[in-house]
Structure 1
């Protein structure tokens, strides 16, 4: 098992000419944790990952691994390895030779590199396919080859750039489980860039939400989901309403909002849309001031007492479930 090494960003900035892609972010990742950098396109998450990998230069600040500044080291000398979104496999090389390629570049002899390639292929459950070419593999198998190729260098930190985006939904969920299991078995830090909230919640010990080149909020998956600090985080993570009340702006989970047929309730509104979602029914309402509030009503509860677009309803919640926002 690799020694646990702390990865830390200290006032890391990335400029492209006059554009600031990453603006003086500082964050210490949990050692041997699974972290997801989460945010919309253009928020700076991929630039941050590429700076950690050494594929982008750092304009200002430092990247520390195990207390050592790795900002100016070549990618191969950092103790990190990157798995790319498009897998970037060599089509003319076998699976085994693809996995062993970086060791060949380092000058390791053939028997040593084939032995190591065999070990990592076993780890990702591809031992039987070592002689195949990439185009003879499924998308999920190609991804595991890319993973094995990144892991053969025994990195202290594995960097993953939207690794599941090319897979179909069923395979994506299966691969999430495999990545999580692998991270626990290896005991090394994974830093995974995604714009999918469900992916981040399913995988991460720690979610780092980025917006407009800065870190908007970081914490455990449950903390970031249940206690968003800003309206952006509440809305981006999904599952929340942001409500402007006389005492300020608050977030409340959609499944904490109930509906009453009377005018009773904290607020009154009219129903705009009703959408059946299986276990829940999503009811979108509009209240005074053109604010929209969604309630996720358990399916059984809704159909015992159904509502239709145009109905006037009261919106009910426990005030203890309101979460004050700072921005």
Structure 2
């Protein structure tokens, strides 16, 4: 079996004039990993992806694929393929011809192009629609066509730039499952850019959280979620409260907070909002220091002992549920 190549970013920098969009980031992606670059708009994640793809020049540092420096190679020579946010399908070409386009540019004969395109379309369950034009497809079908077009070159790394952002919420969840299944079947590295933490948590083996052009924290998805190192990561991943205590700043998961009677817990609090979410109830409360926290309770626990806005309560948590933050 041929070993798949790993991907490494070495002190990678991207400057646009005086603006530093990516500031010396380094990270190693094992072969066959599904990784998400996660962060707010303008944090540098898309610039990083485009440098890996070769669609943006590298200002400094290197992109290594299988130990080979590909930083200055054109996109078609790197062993990567990119699926763009807007899918970028040619409107005048059929789905099959869109998928086969890169092979045509390489001079592959028509019979081979058609055969390979059909294989890719079958992989993404689109073969019956091969003769349609892009305008005759739904958003999910266009995404599958773009995915087949990216995969036809047999890349070692597939790069996905916010691939689910144009889809409605229900289709987005369905396509998340399909992307994960496809990645496992192909066994190649997927690097997926998103600003949606739910998307990253659902898809990724590992996440790279970016902020202000740098990596704030990276590693196995569950490890980063369970133990955020900074207030930014704790807040951005969601499901965490960041609380300043006399002994320092800590992160506590929303589902780790326990509601106690007023005066019988670690923190006094006042209920400020209650939001019913079906299986759960989100209870927001103000605490000393002009801070606000949210406790996520099961609907059964909440309605067994309901609280009202303005009610005084106590908040507690197990000691091991609090994580000290660096900043």
Shorter chain as denominator, the TM-score bin is over 0.9
Instruction: Write the deviation string for residues 14-70 of structure 1: whole angstroms up to 9, x where unpaired.
Output: 000111000000000121110000000000000000000000000000000000000
User: TM-score when scaled to structure 1?
Assistant: 0.99
Cα distance in structure 1, aligned partners of 2:131 and 2:317: 60
1:223 aligned residue: 223
Using the TM superposition, give the Cα deviation of residue 3 of structure 1 relative to its aligned residue in structure 2, in angstroms: 4.0
Using the TM superposition, give the Cα deviation of residue 127 of structure 1 relative to its aligned residue in structure 2, in angstroms: 1.1
Asked whether 1:255 is paired with 2:241, we answer: no
Cα distance in structure 2, aligned partners of 1:183 and 1:11: 27
SS of aligned partner of 2:21? strand
Using the TM superposition, give the Cα deviation of residue 230 of structure 1 relative to its aligned residue in structure 2, in angstroms: 0.4
Aligned-pair RMSD on alpha carbons? 0.9
Matches within 5 A, 1:167-246: 167-246=167-246
- 161-170 or 317-326, which deviates more: 317-326
CA contact (8 A) 1:2 1:188 kept: no
Cα distance in structure 1, aligned partners of 2:121 and 2:262: 63
Asked whether 1:96 is paired with 2:96, we answer: yes
1:51 aligned residue: 51
SS of aligned partner of 2:32? coil
1:41 aligned residue: 41
Asked whether 1:79 is paired with 2:79, we answer: yes
Instruction: Write the deviation string for residues 72-95 of structure 1: whole angstroms up to 9, x where unpaired.
Output: 000000000000000111111111
CA contact (8 A) 2:91 2:134 kept: yes
Cα distance in structure 1, aligned partners of 2:262 and 2:87: 57
Asked whether 1:28 is paired with 2:28, we answer: yes
Asked whether 1:267 is paired with 2:255, we answer: no
CA contact (8 A) 1:2 1:186 kept: no
1:316 aligned residue: 316
Going from structure 1 to structure 2, the CA distance change for 1:3 and 1:151 (only over 3 Å counts) comes to: farther
CA contact (8 A) 1:12 1:58 kept: yes
Cα distance in structure 1, aligned partners of 2:109 and 2:137: 27
SS of aligned partner of 1:282? strand
Cα distance in structure 2, aligned partners of 1:276 and 1:263: 26
* Deviant stretches of 4+, over 4 Å: none
Structure 1 runs not aligned, ≥5 long: none
- 61-70 or 120-129, which deviates more: 120-129
Structure 2 runs not aligned, ≥5 long: none
Using the TM superposition, give the Cα deviation of residue 2 of structure 1 relative to its aligned residue in structure 2, in angstroms: 6.8
User: TM-score when scaled to structure 2?
Assistant: 0.99
2:293 aligned residue: 293
Using the TM superposition, give the Cα deviation of residue 261 of structure 1 relative to its aligned residue in structure 2, in angstroms: 2.5
SS of aligned partner of 1:309? coil
> Number of residues paired by the alignment?
327
CA contact (8 A) 2:262 2:268 kept: no
